[in-house]
Amino acid sequence: MKARDRLGLGLAGSLGPILFRGFYSTLKFDIQGQDHQALWEAGEPVVFITWHGRLLPLLYLYRGHGLVMLVSQHRDGEYLTRLGQRLGYDAVRGSSTHGGYPALRELVRKVRKGSSLAITPDGPQGPRERLKPGALQVARITGASVIPVLAGADRAWWVEGWDRFLIPKPFSHVRVAIGEPQTIPRDCSVGQLEAQAVAIESQLGNLKSQVDG
C-alpha cells in the first residue's frame, strides 16, 4: 500500500467520523414507515436494503446499532469500512464479483448470531438501482426479513458517477421512507428469487417517489 493511501485511510479512521458526525448532526430527519422495522427494534435480525447512491444519510441515522455492512473489496471500500467501524458498524468484505461466496457465508453466520445487515444490492459497480437477486440469498437462507429503506434530501449535492451519489447539504431536511418487510422462502426457485428481486426493486422505486417528491 502506498504511503498516500495509508495516510488517507488513517484520516478516514480518525478525522472522518468526527467530521461526519458534525456535518450530519445539522440535518433534520423525517422518517416514514418506522413501524415497518418493528421486528428489528424488537431484536430480530433483518436485512436492510438501500441503493448505493443513497447510503450516506442512512449511515448516520443507523449508527451505533451494530449493523453489519457488506462492503466491496475495492480500495474505496476500505474507507467506508474504517468510517463505519468508528460509527458502530461491523463489516464483511466482498461483493457479487469479488469474494462472493466467502462473504455470503460470513453474512449468514452473522445473521444466525443475531446481527442485522445493511446491503446495497446495486453496488459496487451497478447498474444503478437494479437489485441483483444474489443480494437476497442471505435472507433466503436465514429467514431474516428484507426491509427496503431509502433516503432523500430537499437540498443536496449529487456526485456524478455510476450511482449518482447523494450528499445532503448542511441543515437540509432528509426524508427517509421504510418499506414493508418481505420474507424470502427458503425453497424458492431461481425464477421465484428473481421475481422477489423485481418486486423489492419496485418497492424501492415507490419509496424513492416518497422521499424525492
Burial 123-134 (b: 16+ CB within 10 A, else e): bbeeeebebbbe
pLDDT in tens, 47-106: 999 999 999 999 999 999 999 999 887 666 777 888 888 899 999 988 655 557 889 999
Helix-helix angle 75-86:3-24, to 10 degrees: 40
pLDDT in tens, 173-202: 999 999 999 999 999 999 999 999 999 999
Say which residues have a Cβ less than 8 Å from residue 189's Cβ, sequence separation at least 6.
none
Q: What angle do CA 123, 61, 73 make, to 5 degrees?
A: 30
- Identify the pLDDT of residue 137: 94
Nearest to 143 by CA among 17, 5, 39: 39
Query: What is the model's pTM?
Result: 0.89
Domain boundaries, the chain: 3-212
Residue 24, number of CB atoms within 10 A of its CB:
18
pLDDT in tens, 102-149: 899 999 999 999 999 999 998 777 799 999 888 899 999 999 999 999
